[in-house]
Structure 1
Amino acid sequence: MIQPVQPINEEKRLQAVRDLDILDTSPEESFDSITTIASQICNMPVALITVIDDKRNWFKSKVGSKISESSREISFCTHAILDPKNMLEIRDASTDERFRDNPLVNDQKEGVKYYAGVPLLDPEGFPLGTLCVLDFKKNALNRRQKKALKALGKQVEILYEYRKKNKALEDIRNSLDENNKVLREFASTVSHDLKMPLANMILTADVLKAKYSSKLDEEGINYLNYLKQSGLTLSDYINGLLDHYSSGNFHAEIQQEIFLNDLLEDIIDLLQINETCEINLPDNNLKIHGNSAALGQVFMNLISNSLKYNNREKIVIDIDCTENREYFNFSISDNGIGVPEEKQQTIFELFTTVADKDRQGRKGHGIGLSTVKKLVESLGGSITIVSQEGKGTRMEFSIKRSDLAD
Structure 2
Amino acid sequence: MITVVEAGSNMEQKTAFNEKIRQSILIDYNISKTTTEEDFNQLTFLASTICHAPTAFLSIIDKNHVWLKSKTGINIDEIERKNSFAQLTLESKEQQYCLNYSENPQVFEEAKIHYQELYKFYIGIPLKNAQGYIIGVLSVLDTKERQLKKHQIEGLKALANQCVKLFEFAKQNKKFSIVQRKLKQKYQELEKFASVVSHDIKSPLANIISLTELLKVENQGKFDDETTQYLNYLNESSYSLRNYVDGILSFYRSEHILEKDYENVDLHNLLSGIAHLYDVANDVEIDFPETVTLHHVNKAALTQVFLNLVTNALKYNSKDHRKIQITFKKTETFYHFAVIDNGDGFSEENSNKIFELFTTLDTNDRDGNPGSGIGLATVKKLINSMGGNIKVSSTLGEGSNFQFTIKRV
TM-score by length of 2: 0.81
- Is the CA contact 1:306–1:334 (under 8 Å) kept in the aligned structure 2? yes
The structure 2 residue matched to 1:268, chosen from 278, 284, 289, is 278
Q: Secondary structure at the match of 1:268?
A: coil
The structure 1 residue matched to 2:51, chosen from 42, 49, 72, is 42
Q: Which moved more, 1:107-116 or 1:66-75?
A: 107-116
Partners in 2 of 1:161 and 1:33 — Cα distance?
Answer: 17
Q: Which residue of 1 aligns with 2:65?
A: 56
Deviations 1:47-90 (A, max 9, x none): 11122222322222211110122222342212212344432222
Confirm or deny that 1:384 pairs with 2:390.
yes
Q: Which residue of 2 aligns with 1:369?
A: 376
Paired residue type of 2:340: S
Confirm or deny that 1:320 pairs with 2:329.
no
Structure 1, unaligned stretches of length 5 or more?
none
Confirm or deny that 1:164 pairs with 2:161.
no
Q: Secondary structure at the match of 2:278?
A: helix
Partners in 2 of 1:207 and 1:84 — Cα distance?
Answer: 88
Paired residue type of 1:20: Y
Partners in 1 of 2:289 and 2:406 — Cα distance?
Answer: 19
- Is the CA contact 2:278–2:284 (under 8 Å) kept in the aligned structure 1? no
Report the CA distance shift for 1:340/1:159 in structure 2 as closer, same or farther (over 3 A). farther
Report the CA distance shift for 1:213/1:79 in structure 2 as closer, same or farther (over 3 A). farther
1:339: Cα distance to partner? 4.3
The structure 1 residue matched to 2:358, chosen from 347, 351, 357, is 351
1:168: Cα distance to partner? 3.3
Paired residue type of 2:242: S
Q: Which residue of 1 aligns with 2:135?
A: 128
Report the CA distance shift for 1:373/1:386 in structure 2 as closer, same or farther (over 3 A). closer
1:124: Cα distance to partner? 0.8
Partners in 2 of 1:89 and 1:288 — Cα distance?
Answer: 59
Q: Which residue of 1 aligns with 2:6?
A: none
Q: Which moved more, 1:321-330 or 1:20-29?
A: 321-330
Q: Which residue of 2 aligns with 1:209?
A: 216
Confirm or deny that 1:245 pairs with 2:252.
yes
Q: Which residue of 2 aligns with 1:24?
A: 33
Partners in 2 of 1:294 and 1:95 — Cα distance?
Answer: 68
Deviations 1:260-312 (A, max 9, x none): 5641332214xx75xx94424237476889877655433332122123334x5
Confirm or deny that 1:309 pairs with 2:301.
no
Confirm or deny that 1:219 pairs with 2:226.
yes
The structure 2 residue matched to 1:183, chosen from 190, 211, 221, is 190
Partners in 1 of 2:180 and 2:208 — Cα distance?
Answer: 41
Confirm or deny that 1:236 pairs with 2:243.
yes
Q: Secondary structure at the match of 2:354?
A: coil
Structure 2, unaligned stretches of length 5 or more?
1-11
Report the CA distance shift for 1:280/1:242 in structure 2 as closer, same or farther (over 3 A). same
Deviations 1:102-141 (A, max 9, x none): 3x23469413443211111110111111111123444443
Q: Which residue of 2 aligns with 1:116?
A: 123
- Is the CA contact 1:49–1:132 (under 8 Å) kept in the aligned structure 2? yes
Q: Which moved more, 1:248-257 or 1:64-73?
A: 248-257
Report the CA distance shift for 1:285/1:8 in structure 2 as closer, same or farther (over 3 A). closer
- Is the CA contact 1:315–1:334 (under 8 Å) kept in the aligned structure 2? no
- Is the CA contact 1:84–1:127 (under 8 Å) kept in the aligned structure 2? no
- Is the CA contact 1:281–1:318 (under 8 Å) kept in the aligned structure 2? yes
The structure 1 residue matched to 2:74, chosen from 55, 65, 69, is 65
Q: Which residue of 2 aligns with 1:86?
A: 95
Paired residue type of 2:100: R
Deviations 1:187-234 (A, max 9, x none): 222222322221111111112222335443333222222121111111
Paired residue type of 1:55: N
Q: Percent identity?
A: 35
Partners in 1 of 2:264 and 2:116 — Cα distance?
Answer: 63
TM-score by length of 1: 0.82
Matches within 5 A, 1:256-295: 259-260=269-270, 262-269=272-279, 277-282=283-288, 284=290, 294-295=301-302
Q: Which moved more, 1:294-303 or 1:219-228?
A: 294-303
Paired residue type of 1:264: I
- Is the CA contact 1:16–1:122 (under 8 Å) kept in the aligned structure 2? no
Report the CA distance shift for 1:36/1:320 in structure 2 as closer, same or farther (over 3 A). same
Paired residue type of 2:27: R
Partners in 2 of 1:291 and 1:148 — Cα distance?
Answer: 45
